[in-house]
Amino acid sequence: MRRLSGLDAAFLALETPHSTGHVGGLSILDPSTATQELNLERLISVLEPRLALVPVMRQRLVDVPFGLDQPVWIDDEYFDVEYHVREIALPKPGNDEQLAEQVSRIHARPLDRAKPLWETYLITGLEGGRMAVYTKLHHAAIDGVSGVEILALLFDLTPEPR
């Protein structure tokens, strides 16, 4: 159990129906040189064992009774990676404008506070055989520097897996 800092709690408190507190990252992939097909099952099989490296990815927030202190992170005993990793397809051949529109729709939706505060989307159907991976994480769970570090732990930066 880890208590939220005052700053991280402020990121939660500043959310409104029109303003979210999460950050996102988009990677556009060219799978033409990949040794294995990238599909939802493969993405989950790469991510799932690495989630242990980033405990907050399997934790959810719990409010302290009567709001006497900041919320705390606890392990989510019902964690389901398939809730957090999803696949969507653009109508082929999807262009960059369609991708930007879809990502903006995904980003506009708030994260479910009853679950760990992140989602990853495999986006297929891009022109030229490209694919994209969009990940959003709540700012209460990460900051800018740790966000880059987290994504480097979860994803391989080269075609060769670890």
Cα 120 versus chain centre, distance? 4
* Backbone CA torsion sign across 71, 73, 76, 81: positive
Q: Which residue is catalytic, options 22, 84, 138, 139?
A: 139
Respond yes or no: is residue 138 known to be catalytic: no
Buried b (16+ CB within 10 A) or exposed e, 124-154: bbbeeebbbbbbbbbbbbbeeeebeebbeeb
Q: By the 8 A CB rule, do 47 and 161 touch? A: no
Among candidate residues 106, 116, 107, 104, the one with its CA nearest the CA of residue 140 = 116
Catalytic residue numbers read 139
